[in-house]
């Protein structure tokens, strides 16, 4: 039984799996953080752009081009 416990304690084959799991979780967390950050900013810019476009009168643009 002692030999089996020593063999189990010295086996490090699963360490690489744990390392990759932690690395992947970190990358996923970073991706979600960036997506949330960019998503909120994009919504604000889109709303502002919509407001500006709604205020534009086509006749005013044609008059500005002609002059």
> What confidence tens digit (pLDDT) does each residue in 32-47 have?
999 998 888 888 888 8
Q: DSSP class of residue 30?
A: H
**Token pair listed for 14:** 């699963």
d(CA 55, CA 48): 11
59 phi and psi angles, rounded to 5 deg: -65, -35
Rg (CA), the chain: 29
45 or 58, greater pLDDT:
45
Whole-number pLDDT of residue 28 = 97
């Amino acid at each position: 039984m002692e030999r089996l416990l020593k063999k189990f304690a010295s086996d490090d084959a699963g360490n690489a799996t744990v390392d990759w799991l932690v690395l992947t979780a970190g990358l996923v967390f970073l991706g979600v953080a960036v997506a949330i950050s960019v998503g909120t900013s994009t919504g604000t810019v889109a709303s502002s752009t919509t407001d500006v476009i709604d205020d534009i009168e086509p006749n005013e643009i044609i008059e500005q081009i002609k002059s």
